[in-house]
Amino acid sequence: MSQAVHIPFDNLYVTLDERLFSHRHPTPVKQPGLIRVNDPLARLLGIDPQALQSAEGVNILAGNAVAEGSQPIATVYAGHQFGSWNPQLGDGRAILLGEVIGSDGLRYDVQLKGAGETPYSRMGDGRSPLGPVLREYIVSEAMYALGVPTTRALAAVTTGERVARDDIFPGAILTRVARSHIRVGTFQFFGAREDWEAVRTLADHVIERHYPHISGSTAPYLELLQTVVERQAQLIAQWQSIGFIHGVMNTDNMLVGGETVDFGPCAFMESYDPRTVFSSIDRQGRYAYANQPGIAHWNLAWLAQSLLPLLHPDEKTALELAGQALNVFPDLYNQHYTRLMCKKLGFEEPGEEPRALMIEFLTLLQQESLDFTLSFRVLADYLGSEEPAAGSVGELYPLPFTLNDWLGRWRDELGVASMDSNQLQTLRQQLQSTNPVFLPRNHRVEEAIQAGNRGDFGPFHKLVDLLTKPFDFDPDHSEYIFPAKPEEAVTRTFCGT
Ligand code: AMP
Ligand code: MG
């Protein structure tokens, strides 16, 4: 028996100012079909996952029915895409159904991505092929499980329609959940038009929604900028620490709430090389792994630019304040990055020696073309001076002997020789809960997409299930830990458009 679907909408953005969005209903699709509902996330949002899987639920997820309490809108924004200013973007294929207060007390957007044309569709069809929907579901949920702030996937459905890109693909819709979808580009849209009233409305909303601790401040907009700078420094350091390459860090793909958004041409680095780029449209390598912190800093400068008149009535003073807020980014980022990377080696305090060992380790990984993720993970199996134990990840992915000297100095610095077995075990567990063993490796994501295009969602479900526990090694699925073999390697990923 299917129950009535109840989504406890409590919409705020739609009440703010008509300049921020357009009212727009999703366009119904031919034949909605359920791929997956994210049960724990549905429960967090106060939605019965069973009901969401009913025919009525699937109709809502496909945009064929509008849930009670939903006030569907498409939001407007602008942005710098690959460095070039685009004054008019917006939700071209996404429709915000409304917001829900989760059982954690936080406000969440519930948005359909691929739900049809909007006033911001430009030349696009407002639709999404299945592949990008599956990729976003897999990678965003993996990021969540890895502890990285991210938008999430509540559901994926097929549309029964075909979507034309460089080929013809099945159509699909993702239900995306975010703390908000307010982007640097949202501020830019109004800042570029010198619509400071709208900028202020937006800034007040972001403070109330994401950073309520600022609301009593004497300089709330400066604190807003400082806080977003801090959040992004932390976020990008987390990306770097797991080898995540976003691929399309345009200012419209950076959320002021500090969550990762837009899993278009993203991928995880395998053999360590800071110059790694995946996106097929990133020909200059603008968004290469090593460039991500610098690009985030650049994007934040555009946020600052859009906030200037709110920072101080005197332009020169406003520029000085913005400059000071921005200038701390590299140091903040480095602090977070160094702390996270040293923790991956088992050091709680990122002192001089741990830092030197970290840099040397990365150099060795690059020289030996070793897998970034596995090389850190197997360190837990090298705490003793003997070989990794039978059945361990280290046995499956042994480090080459060229690392022996480094391993010796690493153990000395950790002081493993003087640890008792309990202390060693604690350290081993700490390393294993910091360094994931399962990631959405590019060839596995590709495999899930190819199968999905043939109507087989088995590999997709298997990957999603496995990635809910990225730190727990399950020997039954050991084939998922490995990087791509040369013939499987995915060297280019394509945008979701
Ligand atoms: P993205 O590259 O996904 O960040 O998208 C950049 C801009 O293009 C955004 O304003 C999107 O809403 C818009 N867009 C992307 N794909 C489509 C599509 N299929 N139909 C309409 N608009 C789209
Ligand atoms: Mg985008």
Of 208, 204, 211, nearest to 228 by C-alpha is 211
Confidence of residue 496 (pLDDT cuts 50, 70, 90): low
Tens digits of residue pLDDT in 197-222: 999 999 999 999 999 999 999 999 99
Residue 170: count of CB within 10 angstroms of its CB: 19
Question: Is residue 236 pLDDT above 80, yes or no?
Answer: yes
CA 291 to the chain's CA centroid: 17
Confidence of residue 344 (pLDDT cuts 50, 70, 90): very high
Please tell me the distance between residue 285's alpha carbon and the centre of ligand 1 in angstroms.
21
Which of 73, 184, 497 best tests ligand 1's pocket when mutated (most atoms within 8 Å of CB)?
Answer: 497
Which residue CA neighbors atom 16 of ligand 1 most closely?
A: 497
Length of the chain measured in residues: 497
Which residue CA neighbors atom 13 of ligand 1 most closely?
A: 92
Quote the CA–CA distance of 374 and 435 in Å, as a whole number.
8
Q: Given the CA of residue 118, which atom of ligand 1 is nearest to it?
A: 21
Which residue CA neighbors atom 7 of ligand 1 most closely?
A: 89
Q: Given the CA of residue 497, which atom of ligand 1 is nearest to it?
A: 16
Please tell me the distance between residue 181's alpha carbon and the centre of ligand 1 in angstroms.
14
Burial of residue 323 (number of CB atoms within 10 Å: 0-12, 13-18, 19+): exposed
Give whole-number Cα distances, 486 to 71, 260, 483, in Å: 49, 29, 9
Q: Quote the tokens at residue 361.
A: 């380790």
Give yes or no: 252 in active site.
Answer: yes
Tell whether the torsion through CA atoms of 8, 12, 17 and 20 is positive or negative: negative
3-state secondary structure of 109: strand
Question: Is residue 491 pLDDT above 90, yes or no?
Answer: no
Q: Are 307 and 318 in contact (CB under 8 A)?
A: no
Pick the residue with more confidence: 365 or 497? 365
Q: Please tell me if the CB atom of residue 446 comes closer than 6 angstroms to any atom of ligand 1.
A: no
Confidence of residue 223 (pLDDT cuts 50, 70, 90): very high
Confidence of residue 493 (pLDDT cuts 50, 70, 90): confident
Which residue CA neighbors atom 5 of ligand 1 most closely?
A: 497
3-state secondary structure of 312: coil
Q: Please tell me if the CB atom of residue 264 comes closer than 6 angstroms to any atom of ligand 1.
A: yes
Q: Please tell me if the CB atom of residue 91 comes closer than 6 angstroms to any atom of ligand 1.
A: yes
**Predicted local distance difference test score (pLDDT) of residue 492:** 75
Q: Please tell me if the CB atom of residue 335 comes closer than 6 angstroms to any atom of ligand 1.
A: no
Closest-lying ligand to the alpha carbon of 128? Answer: 1
**Predicted local distance difference test score (pLDDT) of residue 495:** 57
Of 210, 229, 227, 248, nearest to 99 by C-alpha is 210
pLDDT mean across residues, the chain: 96
Please give the radius of gyration of the chain, using alpha carbons only, rounded to the nearest integer.
23
Tens digits of residue pLDDT in 267-323: 999 999 999 998 888 888 999 999 999 999 999 999 999 999 999 999 999 999 999
| Cα end-to-end span (Å), the chain | 38
One of 39, 109, 204, 252 is an active-site residue; which one?
252
DSSP string, 60-79: HHHTSS--TT---EEE---E
Q: Please tell me if the CB atom of residue 381 comes closer than 6 angstroms to any atom of ligand 1.
A: no
Q: Please tell me if the CB atom of residue 470 comes closer than 6 angstroms to any atom of ligand 1.
A: no
Please tell me the distance between residue 375's alpha carbon and the centre of ligand 2 in angstroms.
33
Strand pairing category for 244-245 and 21-23? unpaired
Of 121, 99, 110, nearest to 22 by C-alpha is 121
Of 221, 153, 219, 142, nearest to 439 by C-alpha is 142
pTM beyond 0.85: yes
Tens digits of residue pLDDT in 366-423: 999 999 999 999 999 999 988 999 999 999 999 999 999 999 999 999 999 999 999 9
Q: Please tell me if the CB atom of residue 497 comes closer than 6 angstroms to any atom of ligand 1.
A: yes
Mean local confidence (pLDDT), 435-464: 98
Q: Are 49 and 39 in contact (CB under 8 A)?
A: yes
At how many degrees (to 10) do helices 130-145 and 458-466 cross?
20
Q: What phi, psi does 408 have (nearest 5°)?
A: -60, -45
> Of the given ranges (67-71, 385-389, 486-490), which has the lowest mean pLDDT?
486-490
Q: Please tell me if the CB atom of residue 62 comes closer than 6 angstroms to any atom of ligand 1.
A: no
